[in-house]
Amino acid sequence: MPEKIKMSPEGQLVVPDCPIVPFIEGDGTGVDIWPASKMVFDAAASAHGRSIEWKEVLAGEKAFRETGEWLPAETVQAFRDHLVGIKGPLTTPIGGGIRSLNVALRQVLDLYVCLRPVKWFRGVPSPVRHPEKVDMVIFRENTEDVYAGLEVAEGTPEARKLIEYLHDQLGWNIRVDSGIGIKPVSETGSKRLIRAAIQYALDHNRKSVTLVHKGNIQKFTEGAFRAWGYEVVRDEFSDLAIGWDDCDGDPGKLLLVKDAIADITLQQVLTRPAEFDVIATLNLNGDYLSDALAAQVGGIGIAPGANINYMTGHGVFEATHGTAPKYAGQDKVNPGSVILSGALMFEHLGWADVASSIVHALERTIAEKIVTYDFARLTEGAHEVRCSEFAAAIVERL
Ligand code: NAP
């Protein structure tokens, strides 16, 4: 019997053997990627004695065609009620009154963690010499920073008022022809993100958490993020983790929490990737870092992503690439991003066995050089297959 996933009073997800999971097919290549991914998910769940009742909900172009709305209230409600769901890529409506459907869903459900694991799979073409050394998990803060959308345009009465206010009250001299954006970074937002990253590192036997920030320049936002991070370690994890400042070089059996400036981090993830494990960072830094790292492992087309609120259990698992409209309906593109996002979703549900069989089967398929066009053009001796054939090859190897 299909049932809803629930949250226990102790804050644990209660997952039935046949959970109802809402999905958004996605625009553009979503029509190719979703059926391929679903084939893999159903086969992997069934191999472990479970199943999923998929519930389609609308968003993006399909929703606009059928309901006149880009993100119908029922869709948001379905994600709210069922706690966990998955989505393909969505077109960003231009001038539609909504900044981005992805951002809207994150804000409405307060999905404060953007989770991006970055790992190389054997056989994936990469631009670096040792992609196998990259195995990092990025925790990007998802609700604050310059992404809060608090901006006023140059020349508007709002901008003038703000510039005058800041001059009169704080003595700040801002050029009159400036646009202004506000960068809020709160103790609440920073600590819950860092707490989730540390807990993840402990649960997954990771060695370190690096707090990546630009605190040398932005002291009261990025610098405060760093300070609050070390406070979380001392106040909440003192028996399991230790901050760099409190450790004389050897953390022993404890999880090491250290920090690094954002610009240097972008160099060192390239030159010394083995020194990074779990990374906790603010919204904008996390945006740059996750794409830079995904490129390092050749994974732009297959990088998975998730947006999670660990306190309510809500999670939306999603493709990290866009809709690639020029390939829509051609059964051509790589479904790997949604497939690996699904594996992340199963891990979140506590179905680690289902998740790891998907990851291993995908890894074997790529290692045998059975790949879609994007990898085929970079791989000597590749056997190029369609989107659906790639999924079928994964199913054969489950
Ligand atoms: P895009 O759709 O990601 O496509 C850019 C290029 O990336 C494609 O031309 C293709 O490269 C490659 N690519 C994308 N998906 C692929 C896949 N599944 N397999 C293999 N290669 C893939 O970016 P865009 O053209 O800038 O954006 C198109 C629309 O998507 C926009 O409306 C944008 O707002 C939206 N978008 C949505 C999301 C999301 O929903 N998470 C994210 C980003 C963008 P080649 O042509 O070189 O093969």
pLDDT of amino acid 282? 98
Ligand 1 binding pocket includes 323 (Cβ within 6 Å): yes
pLDDT of amino acid 123? 84
The answer to whether the CB of 243 falls within 8 A of the CB of 234 is yes
Q: Whose CA is nearest to atom 38 of ligand 1?
A: 322
Ligand 1 binding pocket includes 365 (Cβ within 6 Å): no
> How does residue 99 score in pLDDT terms, banded at 50, 70 and 90?
low
Q: How far is the CA of 278 from the centre of ligand 1 (A)?
A: 26
pLDDT of amino acid 95? 60
Other beta carbons less than 10 A from residue 223's beta carbon? 16
Q: How far is the CA of 202 from the centre of ligand 1 (A)?
A: 34
Between these two residues, 331 and 124, which has the higher pLDDT value?
A: 331
pLDDT at 387 over 60: yes
> How does residue 248 score in pLDDT terms, banded at 50, 70 and 90?
confident
Q: Taking Cα atoms as reference points, which of 337, 279, 351 lies closest to residue 306?
A: 337
Ligand 1 binding pocket includes 324 (Cβ within 6 Å): yes
pLDDT at 94 over 80: no
pLDDT of amino acid 98? 62
Ligand 1 binding pocket includes 304 (Cβ within 6 Å): no
pLDDT at 378 over 80: yes
> How does residue 184 score in pLDDT terms, banded at 50, 70 and 90?
very high
What does pLDDT average to over the chain? 94
Q: How far is the CA of 300 from the centre of ligand 1 (A)?
A: 9
Q: Whose CA is nearest to atom 16 of ligand 1?
A: 301
Angle (deg, nearest 10), helices 101-108 and 73-82 = 50
Q: How far is the CA of 198 from the centre of ligand 1 (A)?
A: 32
Q: Whose CA is nearest to atom 18 of ligand 1?
A: 334
Neighbour-count burial of 394, counting CB atoms closer than 10 A to its CB (0-12 exposed, 13-18 middle, 19+ buried)? buried
Ligand 1 binding pocket includes 208 (Cβ within 6 Å): no
Ligand 1 binding pocket includes 89 (Cβ within 6 Å): yes
Mean per-residue pLDDT, 12-26: 96
pLDDT of amino acid 189? 97
Specify the ligand 1 atom closest to the Cα of 101: 40
Q: Can you tell me the distance from the alpha carbon of 173 to that of 293, in angstroms, rounded to the nearest whole number? A: 38
Mean per-residue pLDDT, 213-218: 95
Q: Taking Cα atoms as reference points, which of 280, 267, 269, 177 lies closest to residue 229?
A: 280
Q: How far is the CA of 327 from the centre of ligand 1 (A)?
A: 10
Mean per-residue pLDDT, 224-240: 97
Please list the active-site residues: 147, 214, 263, 287
Q: Can you tell me the distance from the alpha carbon of 337 to that of 292, in angstroms, rounded to the nearest whole number? A: 16
pLDDT at 147 over 90: no
The answer to whether the CB of 85 falls within 8 A of the CB of 79 is yes
pLDDT of amino acid 182? 94
Q: Whose CA is nearest to atom 40 of ligand 1?
A: 89
> How does residue 124 score in pLDDT terms, banded at 50, 70 and 90?
confident
The answer to whether the CB of 85 falls within 8 A of the CB of 78 is yes
Q: Taking Cα atoms as reference points, which of 120, 151, 177 lies closest to residue 340?
A: 120
Pocket test for ligand 1, best of 111, 142, 323, 385 (most atoms within 8 A of CB): 323
Pocket test for ligand 1, best of 317, 321, 366 (most atoms within 8 A of CB): 321
